[in-house]
């Protein structure tokens, strides 16, 4: 299982279990109205087979034994499309009629509007709890990146950035620290994000890998003054090649390798100077200027051994997560609001 699969698997398990608990609450309320005494009676475990692999769920039970979950039926083990269905229940904004049709089509069950309301509220509570959960005190590496999604805003569908922070713990495991939506990213927004991480328990970030977002390094250092800020080399390369004619791209990309493969910062600076004085540097002076502007955030890269350089060279770890999220939201088209 990939890191992205594992990261999303934890959320899907939490959402599915919150759905089941909300359904049991709804069932017990109905029993009480009917005058039949009943209550919770712990949990049973069940492993379901999904498109993304096995998911082990804690299934709530009632003392009277009358609870038979509609969303995950008692004797059912296989759930093709389970991942998409759980994520789609998380996507708020569908009308009650749409959700009723969705459940009837997918699960073959008819759900009442009251049950739908209980379930969607429970899912949103789970998401809010996840977004505000306590975090580790120290993260050796945190990757920051953005994913573009379509969201309706004042009757207009706009492309908005969902900013993602992916932390690497001391044992090497990865954790999504949070997601934030902001139309106009800037120093104030990033300062708010950093303060949120601080309030949730993060005391220090050793290395922050970013993609050259404006105002970001200063915001990180304002809250975590000892943090090293490293620009993503791959993002810097992509930006550099934006200035280059298509027929020249391969040659320019090869010439730039001498800069980021240098043994240390001094050799890297010398390689940048040599590139600036070369025919490519004179033809594409904007590339040299972009590297010089970002140089303070490139330098930390040279202080690490090859094994660590390979990890921080790019934001591939977070881009793998983005790819999973894109597949999960692609069928949605666009979301009705930011909360969705």
Give the tens place of pLDDT for each residue, 124-155: 677 778 788 899 999 998 988 877 777 777 77
Pick 47 or 87 by higher pLDDT: 47
The rounded distance, in Å, linking the Cα atoms of 273 and 265 is 12
Whether residues 8 and 127 share a domain: the answer is yes
Q: Which helix (H) or strand (E) holds 188?
A: helix 187-199
Whether residues 126 and 138 share a domain: the answer is no
Using DSSP, state whether 335 is helix, strand or coil.
strand
- Name the token pair of 42: 């712990």
pTM of the complete model: 0.66
Please identify, among 131, 157, 172, the residue that sits at the C-terminal boundary of a domain.
Answer: 131
Tell me the per-residue pLDDT of 192-247, one tens digit each, with 9 for 90 and over: 999 999 999 999 999 888 876 667 888 899 999 999 888 888 878 888 889 899 99
What mean pLDDT is predicted for residues 155-168? 81
Evaluated on CA atoms 148, 150, 151, 157, the torsion sign reads positive
The rounded distance, in Å, linking the Cα atoms of 128 and 132 is 6
In a domain, 262, yes or no: no
Q: What's the burial of 4, exposed, middle or buried (CB within 10 Å: 0-12/13-18/19+)? A: buried
The rounded distance, in Å, linking the Cα atoms of 193 and 181 is 11
Please identify, among 131, 160, 187, the residue that sits at the C-terminal boundary of a domain.
Answer: 131
In a domain, 81, yes or no: yes
Smallest Cα–Cα separation from 167: which of 24, 65, 289, 317? 317
Measure CA 296 to chain center: 27
In a domain, 9, yes or no: yes
171-to-27, 133, 136, 207, 304 alpha-carbon distances in Å: 42, 20, 12, 15, 18
In a domain, 268, yes or no: no
Whether residues 152 and 123 share a domain: the answer is no
Task: Give the domain CATH number at 217.
Answer: 3.30.420.10
Whether residues 33 and 102 share a domain: the answer is yes
Whether residues 122 and 143 share a domain: the answer is no
In a domain, 205, yes or no: yes
Whether residues 102 and 177 share a domain: the answer is no
Q: Which residues contact 212 (CB under 8 A, 6 or more apart)?
A: 231, 232, 235, 236, 239, 294, 297
Taking all residues of the chain, what is their mean pLDDT, rounded to a whole number? 79
In a domain, 291, yes or no: no
What is the number of structural domains in the chain? 2
**Under a CB-based contact definition with an 8 Å cutoff, are residues 182 and 192 in contact?**
no
Smallest Cα–Cα separation from 240: which of 207, 212, 271? 212
Whether residues 148 and 71 share a domain: the answer is no
Range of the domain at 207: 134-231+333-339
List the beta bridge partners of residue 204. Answer: 138
**Is residue 319's pLDDT more than 70?**
no
């Amino acid at each position: 299982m990939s890191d992205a699969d594992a990261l999303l698997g934890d959320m899907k398990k939490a959402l599915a279990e919150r759905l089941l608990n909300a359904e049991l609450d709804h069932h017990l309320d109905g029993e009480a109205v009917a005058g039949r005494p009943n209550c919770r009676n712990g949990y049973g475990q069940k492993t379901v087979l999904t498109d993304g692999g096995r998911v082990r769920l804690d299934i709530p039970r009632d003392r009277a034994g009358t609870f038979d979950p509609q969303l995950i039926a008692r004797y059912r083990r296989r759930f093709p499309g389970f991942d998409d269905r759980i994520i789609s229940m998380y996507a708020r904004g569908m009308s009650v009629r749409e959700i009723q049709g969705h459940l009837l089509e997918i699960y073959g069950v008819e759900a009442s509007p009251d049950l739908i309301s209980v379930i969607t509220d429970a899912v949103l509570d789970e998401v809010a709890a996840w977004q505000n959960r306590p975090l580790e005190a120290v993260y050796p590496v945190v990757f920051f990146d953005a994913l573009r999604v379509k969201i309706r805003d004042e009757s207009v569908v706009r492309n908005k950035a969902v900013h993602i922070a992916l932390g690497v713990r001391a044992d090497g495991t990865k954790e999504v620290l949070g997601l934030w939506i902001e139309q106009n990213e800037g120093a104030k927004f990033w300062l708010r994000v950093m303060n949120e991480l601080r309030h949730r328990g993060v005391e220090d970030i050793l290395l922050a890998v970013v993609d050259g977002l404006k105002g970001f390094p200063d915001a990180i250092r304002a809250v975590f003054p000892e943090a090293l800020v490293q620009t993503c080399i791959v993002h810097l390369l992509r930006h550099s090649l934006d200035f280059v004619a298509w027929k020249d791209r391969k040659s320019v990309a090869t010439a730039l390798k001498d800069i980021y493969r240098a043994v240390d910062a001094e050799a890297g600076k010398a390689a940048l100077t040599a590139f600036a004085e070369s025919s490519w540097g004179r033809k594409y002076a904007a590339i040299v200027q972009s590297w010089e502007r970002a140089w303070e955030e490139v330098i930390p890269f040279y202080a690490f051994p090859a094994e660590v350089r390979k990890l921080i060279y790019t934001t591939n770890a977070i881009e793998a997560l983005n790819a999973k999220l894109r597949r999960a939201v692609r069928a949605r088209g666009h979301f009705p609001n930011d909360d969705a």
